[in-house]
A and B are shown apart, each in its own frame.
Chain A
Amino acid sequence: MNFGYLIFVNENEDVDYLKLAYLLAISIKVTQKEGYDRVALVTNNKEKVSQLSSPWVFDEVIEFEREEEGWNPRSWMDRYSPFDYTVCLDSDMIFFRDYSHWIDSLIGSNLEIFLPSSAYTYRGELICDDFYRKTFTANSLPNLYSFYTFFKKQSSIREEFFNLGRWIINNPNDFKNIFLPKKMPKVVGTDEALSLSAKILDIDKIITLDNNLIKIVHLKPMIQNWPWPADEVFDHVGFYFNLEGKLKIGNYQQNQILHYYKKDVITDEIVSIMENKIWKK
């Protein structure tokens, strides 16, 4: 089985996405068992990767040669992946334990594409609030999250699905006016584009699972089931990363993949802790 994780980094001046991707790759190497721990990085600045202390945590570094802005490069995930089976992750995520059985389940279920249709709070509760997803609700879009996108290279629907997703991203106004007329988004991001692609192709029911196996914690502030509105998660709960590479948010130990969203929470000290862990492995 040729499986691996794929991370895209599109350098910009505001956020050091390579640092986030590097931490994610280390956390994958530390926690996943052999055969499930390969990581490929797609970046527009290959040179910077060699300056990292342990660039070898990326099994492959692939140059992204297209001129794309922001997160648009991610829509090319199917073209850039070197693996037969791939999970493409957002770079602002971190692993805490072995999730290889998720991969076994996805491959064993013969899914050609998979995107989660739910996310969880730091307390492990299902997120039901659509605060950030009004467009999805208003236009009956399938509630898919692209931060964990699984796909199989040898697939009949993969190419069609991603081609349409890219087409939507590159021609947002055409699709917004027709398919997203209510609560129209200013920007059609990867989540909206891939969800719309799934809806148009009528495959939304077959590219997700109802079994609650795959749980990703999503740390956007307004969806944490708190009794009041919040601008920042960490104004209200602490972020406690210990020397073992374990994380507590507030009173909760984090065991699922965490999409922390707030990029500046990842300090050089956290990277250093994880580097120590991988060096000792």
Chain B
Amino acid sequence: MNNGVLLFVYNNRDIDYARSAIIAGFLANTNLQVPVSIITDESTIQWMKQSDIYQHAEKLFDKIIYTERSTRLNYRNLRNGGLEKKPVLFLNDNRCKAWELTPYDRTLLIDSDFLIYSDRLSEFWNVDSSVLISSAMKDIRGDRCGYHDRYISDTGPDLRWATTVMFSKDQESKVFFELVESIKDNYQYFSDLYSFLPGQYRNDISFSIAHHMMSGHSSSLDYFLPPILTVQDLDSIQDIDKDFVRVYINDPITGQDNFLCNLKNTDVHIMNKNALIDNFDKFERFL
């Protein structure tokens, strides 16, 4: 079985996803001991070349797969530590193409800000389940997880987290990804059916609905990937290295540093992408 990790990487003016993906790819490769590939576009590659990081990408990534850049403009509010939010563009709507684009028989699809510091996800390569998705999000402070971090809507299904998705390239997963694509293409309709706000396209919601539908429109008793331990975008990075990340966990009301937390041997989702990108140079010596 040909296992590997896959990341989608599309830069924009606000966020240098390429740097983030190189850090995430390096950690995935180091700790899971499997090849890592990226799906990207020409402009992101051009940016990598201009900013002198392409050689890292070439060396690190097993395959660099080119696609067309999405034309669907999708914005979300992002913090960069603290409470201030800024609307930023993100291009995320072709994740449903992971099935056809992946070079692997069994793929772990991860966000480019998901840092793999352990080999825990290796346990799932041989699980007899065509598609595995993370069951939930776990806020690192424990009390900043809202209702809509748990459900796609007030009365709707559980929100699964597409931050980590593992799938085999078979007929069942093909149907799953086709379903995700259909939900994406008919997002307004599904927002009416599942009572969520359609303003911003979220892969988490499309993947959750597809998972819900493929579980017989009921709560699945199937296996899940572990919950996503999440450092929120109002938090910031104090220090990071190939073995640990140390973060300031901020108070959701004041936005001020509440305490310092050192994470080691634990996979973590760093939602403050710029804080991660700003620390890119600390990884360059390992690349």
Contacts and interface: CB of A to CB of B under 8 A. Distances in A.
Are these two chains actual partners, yes or no?
A: yes
Interface of A: 123-125, 224, 226-228, 236-237, 248, 250-253, 255
B217 to A, nearest CB: 4
B142 interface: no
A59 B157 CA distance: 39
Nearest to B209: A251
A131 to B, nearest CB: 17
Given A124-B218, A227-B147, A251 B156 contact: yes
A251 B212 contact: yes
A224 B218 CA distance: 15
Contacts of B218: 124, 252-253, 255
B57 to A, nearest CB: 41
Interface of B: 147, 154-158, 193-194, 212, 216-219
A61 B257 CA distance: 70
B154 A123 contact: no
A251 B193 contact: yes
A123 B147 CA distance: 15
Contacts of B154: 226-228, 236
Contact of B217 (A226, A227, A248): A248
B219 A250 contact: no
**Top 8 closest A-B pairs, CB basis?**
A124-B219, A253-B217, A227-B147, A253-B218, A237-B155, A250-B155, A236-B155, A251-B156
Nearest to A228: B154
B195 to A, nearest CB: 8
Contacts of A253: 216-218
A248 B157 CA distance: 13
Nearest to B152: A251
Given A226-B154, A226-B155, A228-B154, A251 B217 contact: yes
Nearest to B153: A251
B153 to A, nearest CB: 9
A251 B216 CA distance: 10
Given A248-B217, A250-B155, A255-B218, 10 more contacts: A123-B158, A124-B218, A226-B155, A227-B154, A251-B155, A251-B212, A252-B219, A253-B217, A253-B218, A255-B216
Contacts of A124: 218-219
Contacts of A251: 155-157, 193-194, 212, 217
Contacts of A228: 154
A252 to B, nearest CB: 6
Contacts of B156: 250-251
B76 to A, nearest CB: 22
B217 A123 contact: no
29 contacts: A123-B157, A123-B158, A123-B219, A124-B218, A124-B219, A224-B155, A226-B154, A226-B155, A227-B154, A228-B154, A236-B154, A236-B155, A237-B155, A250-B155, A250-B156, A251-B155, A251-B156, A251-B193, A251-B194, A251-B212, A252-B157, A252-B217, A252-B218, A252-B219, A253-B216, A253-B217, A253-B218, A255-B216, A255-B218
